[in-house]
Amino acid sequence: MTTIAVIGAGPGLGAAVARRFGREGHDVALVARDRARLDALAADLAGEGITARAFIADVRDPDALRAALNAARDALGPIEILQYSPVPHPDYMRPVLETRAADLTGPVEFSVYGPVVAVQQVLPDMRELGRGTILFVNGGTAVVPHRDRAGTSVAFAAQGAYARLLHDRLADDGIHVAQLVVPGAIVAGHHRKDPAVLADTLWTMHRDRHGFRHYADDLDA
């Protein structure tokens, strides 16, 4: 089997996705900023029989993100699956009339430049394998902008446009690109938005390779 790189891996959705794909036999590259948390998660996964390694990077640092993905490839083998799902900083969710041009730098670096760097880094291996999956996870502002969350509304929409362009361009190369929109918050115990349920949804999106945009719940949920 090959590797899934989970960018933005944490104790919620990232951990659930690592377990779900790991149970299917994929090695797991956990990419985030907090080494202690990632090392603990990798150890937990190892205890469950899943091969997982931690790689440290801030998605707003292109060189660090490239280096982390290169190290993951060297340690675990070709990356067949990329999931981009870091949680945006609260500062990215200012009301629109309080949002200055400079306030959009962080959201755009986080939600647009980061994905572009990651995708460009893993595409050569996917093309060599003749297959691949790129999964984007966004909040509801990706499709319905919110006046009190201007940064994510702008940046998630841009990420969605980029993802859609990839979906259309890469389909003939055997690389499936899809977006999962999770309205509201990820909620433990929720019948549709629990991390384990979302991980199952993402596995199904990878396995079935149908369509581009998928919704975890109703947009007004």
Q: Give the number of other CB atoms < 10 A from CB of residue 28.
A: 28
Q: Which of 177, 174, 150 is nearest to 93 (CA)?
A: 150
The DSSP code for 61 is: -
How many whole angstroms separate alpha carbon 144 and alpha carbon 192?
A: 19
| Model confidence at 221: pLDDT above 80 | no
Domains of the chain and any CATH numbers: 3-215 (3.40.50.720)
pLDDT, position 90: 83
Q: What is the pLDDT of residue 48?
A: 96
Whether the pTM exceeds 0.85: the reply is: yes
Residue 215 has pLDDT above 70, yes or no: yes
Query: How far is Cα 154 from Cα 119, in angstroms, rounded to an integer?
Result: 20
pLDDT, average across residues 191-196 = 95
Percent share of the chain, pLDDT over 90: 92
Cα separation, 7 vs 16, in Å, equals 13
What is the per-residue pLDDT for 82?
A: 98
Mean pLDDT of the chain, nearest integer: 96
Identify the band that residue 6 occupies on the pLDDT scale cut at 50, 70 and 90: very high
29 pLDDT more than 90: yes
Higher pLDDT: 6 or 187? It is 6
Percent of the chain's residues with pLDDT above 70: 100
Closest CA to 60 of 11, 132, 108: 108
Q: Residue 219: pLDDT band by 50, 70, 90 thresholds?
A: confident
What are the pLDDT digits (tens) for 117-148?
999 999 999 999 999 999 999 999 999 999 99
In residues, how long is the chain? 221
Q: How many helices (H) and strands (E) does the chain have?
A: 7, 7
CA-closest candidate to residue 77, choices 134, 122, 44: 122
